[in-house]
Amino acid sequence: MSQEEYRRATLPGHVDFELPAEEAVPRKINGNHPLNGRTPRTPQPEEPETEQPETEQPADVVDIWDQRVAKGLAFLRRRLTGAYEVDDFGFDPDLADSVFLPMLKRLYKDWFRTEVLGIEHVPATGGGLLVGNHSGVLALDAVMLSVALRDQHPEERHLRLLGADLVFRVPVMSELARKVGATVACNPDAERLMRNDELVGVFPEGFKGTGKLYADRYKLQRFGRGGFVSAALRTGTPIIPVGIVGAEEIYPMIADLKPLARLLGVPYFPVTPFFPALGPLGLVPLPSKWMIQFCPPIPTAHLTEYADDPMVVYNLADQVRETIQATLHDLLAKRPDPFGL
Amino acid sequence: MVTSVSKPPRVVVVTGVSRFLGARVASRLAAHPGVERVIGLDPRDPPTAFSGLLGDVELVKADARAASGAIADLGAEAVVHLSVASAPDPDSGGRAAMKEQNVIGTMQLLAAAQAAPQLRKLVVRSSTAAYGASFKDPAVFTEETEPRAVPRGSFARDILDIEGYVRGFRRRRPEVGATVLRFAPFISASAETTLTRYFAQPVVPTVWGRDARLQFVHVDDALEILHRAVVEDHPGTFNVAGAGVLVLSQAVRRAGRISIALPEGALSSLASVARNVGIGQIGLDQIDWFVHGRVVDTSRLTAEFGFTPRTTAEAFEDFIAGHANGASLTAGRLDAAERAILEGIRAVRASAAAAGGSD
């Protein structure tokens, strides 16, 4: 329809509205849904190119499929000859970015429709300790948090997660965790990573957070001894509290079979409406709507000499805990329907 | 900060000169102008291959027990203890002899050294196995890290005993500068160890579901560090390893070998069967190493010695250069395969496009 028809048909009496231009369709930037009132990131230059059908290209335009095949083969050759670098903790950026990140991004964008708020609170350079709430039986929230930083942060920073030693006992899982940049949650490792100016992710609730029942969702559990605070104090690294909403609904745990868990040597054995009733199908996470909020950093550089003072450490841990709990309430108010868009 | 103000010791006793490392260290010390006498102490005769090396070294064929008087009588100013076996040798007594040499040998040598009035320096070969192996371990060990449990490997347990004796010696003779060097596994183009034999096989067994982070030290760099520890003054405990990390699968691929992953239990039993038959020397030490890996911080070493060993990747590169035969998946072959596949796909697509265009 023409501009004239549009005015007559839709807006009687209001002539100062313009027909939206073709380009005015908001770009899908953050999940599959536009964020109202927020500017989209600069568009990726190669994106429109990939949409073009290959047969219509003139001969001198770079052949995308050829590039992709060449890139894939080069990756395979690199892997088979061992021509890649691994850091002291076993982090393999080549593998993580080429194989795991694209798969996890599908889950992050299309399945969980993750929205990220406050990414500007994460520093562009230097160390940082991200402290989040833990939930969702399997620690998918930690994984999604690291995808969010790769996807949304202007510097595409890697998150170095600290995991329970149980993760590193289990064959295969231990090596997957190391290759994506995780390490054992202990103070020497956390401090070494922060001194190397890395972003470190920690979930002080641990299994108490992931293994809680659906009825207790979004209630922060005890924060342990606050070892993460003393590691941050010792290195003068800012603490960035993070609230994650959405992970509680992916596996709604209605019961915990404690004797079975003890038998298997795991901290809990979850029963959800679909697991173990539906077998492996019950492992498919429910498509809840996720929101991740980064809070303003808490500076610690002036507190370095108090790293061993239990009172300072405890108060700071409590402050972080309160911030996360308040953030969770805010986010839940912004997301009335856990499975909405 | 290199603190080498004092003169090198005039009389040095080196144990384990019948082995590669001991012979090299003794020969280099003998060539040093400040060192007047180098006495090689070993219960076995050095192999004839080392006779060129050991020309200037006085050899005493005795074990540490018999040598207890000798160290004081010779007026030794430095003792370099290298007679530490990392794996049982089935030809000369097996595990019992290994423990005798490592633990009892060290105990008696240190007792003798304690009684030597002129002694002012002790250098002991140790290993990064001193950190044990546990799933709760930090990713990177500093010299202060304590092992969480007594390791199950025989070599690692010997190392803990040896370091225990050195601690006792330090308490009783505090004026003697004691240097403990915790070496990562040695590697080079020509060195022959359990580890180099393992990586030199065409098919390399690994532990299923584990991909350990490994560090090596080049033998030449280890010799340099040992030499500096004797002629300069560097008391303390130091990690000696090449910076950086290779994971086991990566190392196997760089060497162009093929790995087969076996469950930990199967590998243990296979290794013990092989040991009993007399082939291969993979013990619990190696299996722990394959499961847990071992990475150490070497910043104290580089700051104190003013010397940076070549990186783990460079040291391993040198090993690969010396063991090219036996490699099947070499970089050159894979490069050629990549180009061939890419050309093939391009040709198929070009012909498909031409066929599509002519229709």
Q: Which residues of A touch B331 (CB under 8 A)?
A: 81, 83
Asked if pLDDT for residue A55 goes beyond 60, the answer is no
- ipTM score of the complex? 0.88
CA distance B139 to chain A (A): 6
Please, which pLDDT band fits residue B143 given cuts at 50, 70 and 90? very high
Q: Which residues of A touch B253 (CB under 8 A)?
A: 79-82
**pLDDT value at residue A152:** 94
Give me the phi and psi of B127, to 5 degrees please: -145, 155
State the average pLDDT over residues A279-300: 94
CA separation for the pair B50, B27 (Å, rounded): 10
Is B279 within 8 Å of B198 (Cβ atoms)? no
| Arithmetic mean of pLDDT over chain A | 86
Q: Is B272 left (phi over 0), alpha (psi -120 to 50) or beta?
A: alpha
Listed in sequence order, the residues at least 6 apart from B124 whose beta carbon sits closer than 8 Å to its beta carbon are B81, B106, B162, B163, B166, B178, B179, B180, B181
CA distance B337 to chain A (A): 9
* Pick from B245, B256, B341: CB nearest A73: B341
Selected for mutation to probe chain A from B128, B141, B214, B250 (highest A CB count within 10 Å) is B250
Asked if pLDDT for residue A28 goes beyond 50, the answer is no
Highest mean pLDDT among A6-20, A64-78, B299-313: B299-313
CA distance B336 to chain A (A): 10
* Cβ–Cβ contact A178 with B under 8 A: yes
Asked if pLDDT for residue B353 goes beyond 80, the answer is yes
Q: Which residues of A touch B208 (CB under 8 A)?
A: 171
Alpha helices in B31-119 (DSSP H): 68-73, 94-99, 105-114
CA separation for the pair B291, B207 (Å, rounded): 7
Residue of B nearest to A54 (CA): B353
Calculate the alpha carbon distances from B31 to B38, B48, B56 in Å.
Answer: 9, 20, 8
Q: Which residue in the block uniquely carries the two structure tokens 């990475």?
A: B295
Is B153 within 8 Å of B288 (Cβ atoms)? yes
* Subunit contact A171:B145, Cβ cutoff 8 A: no
Alpha helices in chain A (DSSP H): 3-10, 47-51, 64-81, 93-95, 101-106, 140-152, 165-169, 173-179, 187-195, 207-210, 227-235, 258-264, 310-334
Size of interface A-B (CB pairs under 8 A): 98
B121-127/B177-183 β-pairing: parallel
CA distance A198 to chain B (A): 15
**pLDDT value at residue B48:** 85
State the average pLDDT over residues B22-43: 92
Is A249 within 8 Å of A339 (Cβ atoms)? yes
Asked if pLDDT for residue A38 goes beyond 60, the answer is no
State the average pLDDT over residues B255-278: 83
Extended beta strands in chain B, E state? 11-15, 37-42, 58-61, 78-81, 121-127, 177-183, 186-187, 203-207, 213-214, 217-218, 236-240, 246-247, 258-262
Q: What order do you get walking across the sheet with B121-127 strand by strand?
A: B58-61, B37-42, B11-15, B78-81, B121-127, B177-183, B236-240
Q: Which residues of A touch B244 (CB under 8 A)?
A: 88
User: Is A84 strand, coil or helix?
Assistant: coil
- Residue B124 pairs in a beta bridge with B81, B180
Radius of gyration for chain A, computed over Cα atoms and rounded to the nearest angstrom: 23
Instruction: List pLDDT tens digits, range B41-100.
Output: 888 888 888 888 888 888 888 776 677 777 888 889 999 999 998 888 777 788 888 998
Asked if pLDDT for residue A32 goes beyond 90, the answer is no
Is A132 within 8 Å of A242 (Cβ atoms)? yes
Is A179 within 8 Å of A107 (Cβ atoms)? no
| Arithmetic mean of pLDDT over chain B | 89
Is B244 within 8 Å of B311 (Cβ atoms)? yes
Instruction: List pLDDT tens digits, range A220-265.
Output: 999 988 899 999 999 999 999 999 999 999 999 999 999 999 999 8
Instruction: List pLDDT tens digits, range A165-174.
Output: 899 999 999 9
**Chain Cα centroid distance, residue B56:** 26
CA separation for the pair A156, A140 (Å, rounded): 19
Residue A257 burial by CB count (10 A; 0-12/13-18/19+): exposed, middle or buried? middle
CA separation for the pair B87, B83 (Å, rounded): 12
Tokens of B142: 């500093």
Residue of A nearest to B296 (CA): A88
Percent of chain A with pLDDT over 70: 82
* Cβ–Cβ contact A55 with B under 8 A: yes
CA separation for the pair B84, B89 (Å, rounded): 12
Residue of B nearest to A173 (CA): B209
* Subunit contact A69:B293, Cβ cutoff 8 A: no
Percent of chain B with pLDDT over 90: 54
* Other beta carbons within 10 Å of A16: 6
Instruction: List pLDDT tens digits, range B300-328.
Output: 999 999 999 999 999 999 999 988 877 77
Task: Work out the end-to-end distance of chain A between its first and last CA atoms, rounded to an integer number of angstroms.
Answer: 30
**pLDDT value at residue A216:** 93
* Other beta carbons within 10 Å of A314: 14
* Subunit contact A178:B250, Cβ cutoff 8 A: no
Is A324 within 8 Å of A243 (Cβ atoms)? yes
DSSP A212-253: --GGGTT-----TT-HHHHHHHHHTPPEEEEEEESGGGTS--
CA separation for the pair B246, A87 (Å, rounded): 8
CA distance B324 to chain A (A): 14
- Prior bond of A43 cis (ω within 30°): no
Listed in sequence order, the residues at least 6 apart from A53 whose beta carbon sits closer than 8 Å to its beta carbon are none
CA separation for the pair A195, A235 (Å, rounded): 6
State the average pLDDT over residues A268-291: 92
Residue B264 burial by CB count (10 A; 0-12/13-18/19+): exposed, middle or buried? middle
Give me the phi and psi of A230, to 5 degrees please: -65, -30
* Cβ–Cβ contact A175 with B under 8 A: yes
Percent of chain A with pLDDT over 90: 72
Q: Which residues of A touch B261 (CB under 8 A)?
A: none
- Residue B141 pairs in a beta bridge with B296
Q: Which residues of B touch A90 (CB under 8 A)?
A: 139, 211, 213, 245, 247, 293
Q: Which residues of A touch B252 (CB under 8 A)?
A: 82
Calculate the alpha carbon distances from A97 to A153, A180, A190, A206, A307 in Å.
Answer: 15, 9, 22, 26, 35
Instruction: List pLDDT tens digits, range B274-303.
Output: 777 766 667 888 888 999 999 999 999 999
Calculate the alpha carbon distances from A76 to A79, B112, B358 in Å.
Answer: 5, 58, 35
Residue of B nearest to A179 (CA): B211
Percent of chain B with pLDDT over 70: 96
Q: Which residues of A touch B140 (CB under 8 A)?
A: 88-89, 188-189, 192
Asked if pLDDT for residue A98 goes beyond 50, the answer is yes
Q: Which helix (H) or strand (E) holds A184?
A: strand A183-184
* Torsion angle of C-alpha atoms B137, B142, B143, B146, degrees rounded to 10: -20
Tokens of A59: 């001969």
Crossing angle of helices A227-235 and A187-195, rounded to 10°:
30
**pLDDT value at residue B329:** 76
Q: Which helix (H) or strand (E) holds B312?
A: helix B312-322
Instruction: List pLDDT tens digits, range A278-289.
Output: 988 989 999 999
CA distance B72 to chain A (A): 44
Please, which pLDDT band fits residue B197 given cuts at 50, 70 and 90? confident
